[in-house]
């Protein structure tokens, strides 16, 4: 019993250790450990270090392979580095290297020098909370350093589109607002922040995407904190946009200004003769279509093989009957930018006839409809004219064959369930009209059917080795109507 308890204790210790961030220190000189309440300064690479500064060591904080995401956010690794500095008697850390989350690791990883600065509180490093950057405007530093690739979302302020936020992104905007407003975005869900962007203050807005059903859920956090300032300044983004100046109007719309000459330093706004103003697009102007109706048709091919025991003369006939055409349509209603639900219908038609022996003729005419609910996911491009989509649907699948064998007519009818996956691309050439292309993979298996040969009607059940696959591939093009 004692052995089991010891083993469990060892496993628990190892598990807890594995969940924490990896910390490595090299201390060249130690001082008495500082109190936990002692503030530890965060110094950036471009900050000027006082002459009386002593480098007493180095600390690395990173991923040990098992670290949970909450243990290795930028704020978490900064706090861990500060903790190591306190232990060594240092009152500042200087960030010398910062790796953001990537395909190798979902953690932030930093390397920092541990410093001991005399009278550290008398020095100002970087932009402190509340420090005046521009007395007429609030400075909003926007960045996104999460490890979620491929998901791009629009960031709005009030009614207006502030900017589009991809992965690995950084931008600074000067904003003038008369009062509180809202920063918000939407993917699978809507995320809102009520903010009061005060002139002369500097804010850091971190954007990200957390796990969701399909597209992920957006996250927004805003602060004037020293930690996010350090995060923003050390973050080297692949996508960096030029600084904008935004004046937010009372009705929630906004004007973007770009200086063309010397601005008037004595005015609370840019001088009218030195600027070019541009009204930002509103949400209502660029919002994605909530209702989409698709009508389409194209080539289809059944995917099931032909039974080995089929007589050779009939195999060619069955191969030909695999090829047909499809007609159908989708109705989608989107409840967010990317996610929606709807209904799917598609009809497969194919027929073939041949003489498999002299004066012996066979003919088949197949109809295989599907109908059911659909989960719709779309990925609109920046200009909203282009859109990729993925749909998943399931439901009713019918089967009907009107045939004739040696002048004997027969009718086969059955039903089963289907599952389908669509991959598509739409191009919207007008406000409400577009065209699209779609590849659909549809699966279904028939385990029984009713046979009526005009003499008798009987139900035939198929064993597991003779069930008939009635799945197919659809290649279709069509027209779209959206609103």
Residue 174 CA: distances (Å) to CA of 79, 146, 193, 281, 434: 29, 24, 18, 18, 38
- Report the helix count and the strand count for the chain, using DSSP H and E: 5, 29
For residue 78, the model assigns a pLDDT of: 86
Q: Is the pLDDT score of 259 beyond 70?
A: no
For residue 6, the model assigns a pLDDT of: 52
Q: If DSSP codes are grouped into helix, strand and coil, which group holds residue 279?
A: strand
Q: Is the pLDDT score of 21 beyond 90?
A: no
Beta strands 202-210; 217-223: pairing state:
antiparallel
| Tokens read off for 408 | 């004997």
CA–CA distance, 368 with 386 (Å, rounded to integer): 32
Radius of gyration in angstroms for the set of CA atoms belonging to the chain, rounded to a whole number: 33
Q: If DSSP codes are grouped into helix, strand and coil, which group holds residue 282?
A: strand
- pLDDT category at 272 given cuts 50, 70, 90 is very low
Mean pLDDT of 151-162: 89
CB atoms near residue 272 (< 10 Å):
10
> Among candidates 326, 331, 377, which has minimal Cα distance to 150?
377
Mean pLDDT of 256-270: 50
Q: Looking at mean pLDDT, say which of 14-28, 263-277, 459-473 comes out highest.
A: 459-473
CA–CA distance, 101 with 76 (Å, rounded to integer): 14
Q: If DSSP codes are grouped into helix, strand and coil, which group holds residue 129?
A: coil
Average pLDDT taken over every residue of the chain: 83
> Taking CA 211 as the corner, what is the angle to CA 205 and CA 214, rounded to the nearest 5 degrees?
115
The string over 327-366, giving b where at least 16 C-beta atoms fall within 10 Å of a residue's C-beta and e elsewhere, is bbbbebebeebbbbebebbbbbebebeeebeeeeebebeb
Range of lowest pLDDT (227-231, 403-407, 409-413, 437-441)? 227-231
| Tokens read off for 327 | 């007609």
| CATH 2.40.160.20 domain span(s) along the chain | 291-482
DSSP summary character for residue 289: P
Placement of tokens 């200086």 in the chain: 259
CA–CA distance, 57 with 28 (Å, rounded to integer): 5
Say which residues have a Cβ less than 8 Å from residue 344's Cβ, sequence separation at least 6.
328, 330, 370, 371, 372, 373, 374, 391, 393, 395, 420
Write down the CATH number for the domain with range 291-482.
2.40.160.20
Q: Is 46 left (phi over 0), alpha (psi -120 to 50) or beta?
A: alpha
| Tokens read off for 476 | 């279709």
The string over 11-25, giving b where at least 16 C-beta atoms fall within 10 Å of a residue's C-beta and e elsewhere, is eeeeeeeeeebbeee
Mean pLDDT of 138-163: 87
Residue 272 CA: distances (Å) to CA of 89, 173, 178, 260, 431: 55, 19, 19, 10, 35
* Percentage of the chain exceeding pLDDT 90: 37
CB atoms near residue 46 (< 10 Å):
9
Beta strands 445-446; 41-43: pairing state:
unpaired
The string over 158-193, giving b where at least 16 C-beta atoms fall within 10 Å of a residue's C-beta and e elsewhere, is bbbbbbebbbbbbbbbbbbbeeebebbbbbbeebee
For residue 473, the model assigns a pLDDT of: 96
CA–CA distance, 265 with 215 (Å, rounded to integer): 45
Q: Is the pLDDT score of 384 beyond 80?
A: no
* CA 310 remoteness from chain centre: 49
| pLDDT tens-digit series, residues 89-125 | 998 888 888 887 777 777 888 899 999 988 877 665 6
Half-sphere exposure of 199 (CA within 13 A, CB side): 14
Burial class (CB in 10 A: 0-12, 13-18, 19+), 109: buried
Range of lowest pLDDT (2-16, 139-153, 212-226)? 2-16
For residue 15, the model assigns a pLDDT of: 43
CA–CA distance, 270 with 174 (Å, rounded to integer): 12
Q: Is the pLDDT score of 217 beyond 90?
A: no
CA–CA distance, 169 with 188 (Å, rounded to integer): 21
| pLDDT tens-digit series, residues 60-85 | 998 765 445 556 777 788 889 999 99
Q: 16 and 54 in contact (C-beta within 8 Å)?
A: no
For residue 14, the model assigns a pLDDT of: 43
């Amino acid at each position: 019993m004692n052995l089991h308890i010891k083993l469990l204790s060892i496993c628990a210790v190892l598990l807890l250790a594995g969940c924490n961030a990896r910390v490595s220190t090299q201390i060249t000189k130690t001082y008495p450990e500082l109190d936990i309440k002692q503030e530890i300064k965060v110094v950036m690479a471009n900050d000027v270090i006082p002459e009386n500064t002593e480098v007493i060591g180095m600390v690395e904080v990173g991923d040990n392979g098992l670290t949970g995401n909450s243990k290795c956010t930028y704020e978490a690794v900064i706090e861990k580095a500060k903790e190591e500095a306190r232990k060594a008697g240092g009152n500042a850390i200087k960030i010398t290297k910062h790796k953001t989350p990537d395909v190798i690791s979902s953690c932030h990883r930093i390397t920092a020098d541990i410093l001991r600065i005399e009278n550290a509180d008398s020095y100002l490093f970087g932009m402190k909370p509340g420090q005046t950057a521009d007395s007429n405007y609030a400075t909003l530093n926007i960045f996104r350093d999460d490890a979620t690739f491929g998901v791009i979302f629009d960031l709005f302020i009030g009614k207006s589109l502030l900017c589009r936020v991809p992965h690995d992104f950084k931008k600074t905007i000067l904003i003038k607002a008369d009062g509180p407003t809202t920063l918000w975005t939407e993917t699978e869900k809507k995320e809102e922040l009520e903010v009061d962007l005060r002139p002369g203050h500097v804010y850091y807005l971190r954007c990200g995407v957390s796990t969701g059903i399909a597209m992920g859920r957006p996250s927004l956090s805003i602060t004037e904190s020293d930690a996010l300032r350090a995060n923003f300044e050390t973050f080297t983004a692949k996508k960096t946009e030029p600084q904008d100046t935004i004046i937010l109007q009372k009705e929630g719309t906004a004007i973007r200004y770009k200086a063309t000459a010397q601005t008037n330093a004595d005015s609370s706004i840019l001088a009218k003769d030195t600027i070019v103003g541009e009204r930002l697009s509103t949400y209502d102007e660029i919002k994605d279509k909530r209702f989409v109706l698709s009508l389409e048709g194209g080539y289809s091919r059944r995917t099931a093989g032909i039974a080995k025991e089929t007589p050779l003369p009939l195999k060619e006939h069955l191969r030909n009957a695999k090829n047909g055409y499809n007609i159908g349509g989708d109705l989608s209603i989107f409840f967010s930018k990317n996610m929606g639900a709807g209904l799917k219908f598609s009809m497969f038609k194919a027929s073939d006839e041949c003489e498999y022996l002299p004066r012996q003729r066979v003919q088949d005419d197949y109809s295989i409809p599907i109908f059911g609910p659909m989960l719709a996911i779309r990925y609109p491009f920046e200009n909203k004219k282009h859109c990729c989509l993925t749909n998943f649907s399931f439901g009713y699948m019918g089967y009907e064959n009107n045939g004739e064998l040696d002048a004997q007519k027969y009718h086969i009818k059955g039903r089963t369930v289907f599952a389908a996956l669509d991959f598509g691309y739409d191009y919207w050439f007008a406000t409400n009209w577009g065209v699209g292309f779609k590849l659909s993979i549809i699966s279904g298996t028939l385990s029984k059917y009713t046979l009526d040969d005009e003499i008798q009607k009987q139900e035939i059940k198929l064993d597991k080795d003779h069930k008939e696959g009635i799945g197919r591939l659809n290649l279709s093009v069509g027209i779209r109507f959206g609103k």
